[in-house]
Amino acid sequence: MRGPGGAGSRTSDPRAEAKRRLADERGTIVKDAPERVALVYPSPYRAAMSSLGFQTIYREINATPGRCAERAFLPDDPAARGADGVPLLTYEGSRPITDFSVMALSVAYELELAGVIRVLDLAGIPALADDRDHRHPVVIAGGPLTFSNPLPLVPFVDAILLGEAEDTIHTALDVIFGAVDKARSLEELARAVPTCLVPSVHGEAQRELGRVDDARLPAYAQIITPHTELRNMFLVEGERGCSRGCSYCVMRRSSRGGMRVVPVERVLERIPPEAKRVGLVGAAISDHPRICELVETLADRGLEVGLSSLRPDRLTDRLAAALRRAGHRTLTTAADGASQRVRDGIGRRAREKHLEQAARLTREHGFDRLKLYMMLGLPGETDEDVDELVRFSSELSHICPVSLGVAPFVSKRNTPLDGEPYAGIATVEARLRRLRAGLRGRVEVRATSARWASIEHRLAQGGAAEGRAVLDAVRAGGAFRDYARALGKPESRRGRGRRRLTRPFPGP
């Protein structure tokens, strides 16, 4: 099995593929300027252009006089460098990354570290920051990973913009382009941007998260394209953050004061007249106090509407009707814990009555199925909790077709469950087999890899040493065994002696 960032569908000529994709985009910014930034996503185009944050930073940089951003992506086949060996090129200008003064990376989650290494390799830039000099671009990183634990990025970048970066990207680029040399720019960044982690100055020290003024919201897509996971969908924020405080979620730290609601009128103003499909984005978008009105208004315009999250306790007959009228075919929500005891232990508000209501609304409004996202391997979980999930899912399947999307629990830094150990590959796989056996023929079960989740956990709880281990794994081929070998035993690297939260969940 190939690791994250491994080869996908093969593309014979990445430049021809880029040209075809550009021709199908709406909203592309083609601009030349003396201060150029290569904005690079360490996953393929389909994932990158579904990232609202990536698109927002693209627009922000290009809005600055005298400055432009050109995009580049991990190729669908990372081994492809074109027939003549041309390195990674930008889409807008077809330029090599080394022609730019700054390479800016947007990193979503831990397993994209492999993609970071591969795009640096493809660009002809040494992967380790310590091996680069004044001839190489300043490499900065930001993105969702920075809300939890950016430390595994430290070996590969010159600076990390933590948290929300719509404002700090401008300050950081002002400093970089205004400095007399690369070394001076990093020293100045450390002083000028409190939410910027500069490894050469700060090491692995904790820094505060960036936060933009609410008046800057919402973020919204710059480009609409058919070549994404969210085909031809215009993305716009309806809110930012979350007030719920689930103990496993990094939004607790990023929200700092709760959910920030964007007025419906401001959301509607951002939607271009040519949009046919709209994705309403937010960690708790269904908690928006006017979510029904917003979906109904878009449905009245004849638009298809998608929601990035739907909490079962917020699902009403009115909202279900609006979503169905707006083109929803599957009603998707999350229960997360296998049993009510486990859900209570992680602070989830979902109750069986809410999930039963979701199943009834699925049937009554003609949705194809109810899809529930779950986690296995949460602290305190037992086989009896899995049996409860089997029993309850079976009951739901008598109301409507049901499918489960299952992911192993991975504890994240800066959450109340920070430091919780991984349940173990064997344990997670055994509980998944138990779940599938109990639901066979009644409920569809799809699960992400327990093996790769164990690697994600090591990185989520790790630091620069784990980042360097990823480099070793990628160089060895990027298979799971390469990661396991490079990371070694958990206690052998950074994190030895970390706090373990092993308190049991409340009883039933």
pTM: 0.91
Q: Domain 232-328: which CATH class?
A: alpha beta
- Mean pLDDT score, 351-371: 97
Q: How far is CA 32 from the centre of its chain?
A: 30
Element (H, E) at 300: helix 291-300
Q: Residue 246 has what pLDDT?
A: 87
User: Are both 232-328 and 329-508 of the same fold?
Assistant: yes
The fold of the 329-508 domain, in CATH, is Transcription Regulator spoIIAA (3.30.750)
- Ranking 18-27, 474-483, 495-504 by mean pLDDT, the lowest is 495-504
Q: Summarize pLDDT for 444-478 with one digit per residue, the tens.
A: 999 999 999 999 999 999 999 999 999 999 999 99
Q: Show Cβ contacts of residue 385 under 8 Å, excluding neighbours closer than 6 positions.
A: 337, 338, 339, 341, 342
Tokens of 298: 């878009």
Asked if residue 494 has pLDDT above 80, the reply is no
Asked if residue 261 has pLDDT above 50, the reply is yes
Q: How far is CA 277 from the centre of its chain?
A: 21
Q: Residue 206 has what pLDDT?
A: 85
Q: Summarize pLDDT for 400-423 with one digit per residue, the tens.
A: 999 999 999 999 998 999 999 999
Model confidence band, residue 250 (pLDDT cutoffs 50, 70, 90): confident
Q: Residue 3 has what pLDDT?
A: 60
Q: Residue 87 has what pLDDT?
A: 81
- Percent of the chain topping pLDDT 70: 91
User: Angle at CA 186, nearest 5°, toward 183 and 189?
Assistant: 150
User: Angle at CA 419, nearest 5°, toward 287 and 475?
Assistant: 100
Q: Residue 356 has what pLDDT?
A: 97
Model confidence band, residue 85 (pLDDT cutoffs 50, 70, 90): low
Q: Summarize pLDDT for 152-185 with one digit per residue, the tens.
A: 999 999 999 999 999 999 999 999 999 999 999 9
Domain boundaries, the chain: 14-202, 232-328, 329-508
Nearest partner of 147 among 384, 508, 414, 371, judged by Cα = 414
The conformation of residue 230, written as its DSSP 8-state character, comes to S
Q: Residue 86 has what pLDDT?
A: 59
Q: Residue 276 has what pLDDT?
A: 95
Residue with tokens 């889409």: 91
Say if CB 233 and CB 276 are below 8 A apart. Answer: no
Q: Summarize pLDDT for 427-453 with one digit per residue, the tens.
A: 999 999 999 999 999 999 999 999 999
Say if CB 175 and CB 192 are below 8 A apart. Answer: yes
Q: Residue 349 has what pLDDT?
A: 86
Nearest partner of 381 among 427, 416, 349, judged by Cα = 427
Model confidence band, residue 252 (pLDDT cutoffs 50, 70, 90): low
**Mean pLDDT estimate for the chain:** 91
Rounded Cα distance between 448 and 450, Å, is: 6
Q: Residue 251 has what pLDDT?
A: 75
The fold of the 14-202 domain, in CATH, is Rossmann fold (3.40.50)
Q: Residue 309 has what pLDDT?
A: 86
User: Between 360 and 85, whose confidence is greater?
Assistant: 360
Q: Summarize pLDDT for 268-318 with one digit per residue, the tens.
A: 999 999 999 999 999 999 999 999 999 999 999 999 999 988 999 999 999
Q: Residue 490 has what pLDDT?
A: 63
Model confidence band, residue 64 (pLDDT cutoffs 50, 70, 90): very high
Model confidence band, residue 7 (pLDDT cutoffs 50, 70, 90): very low
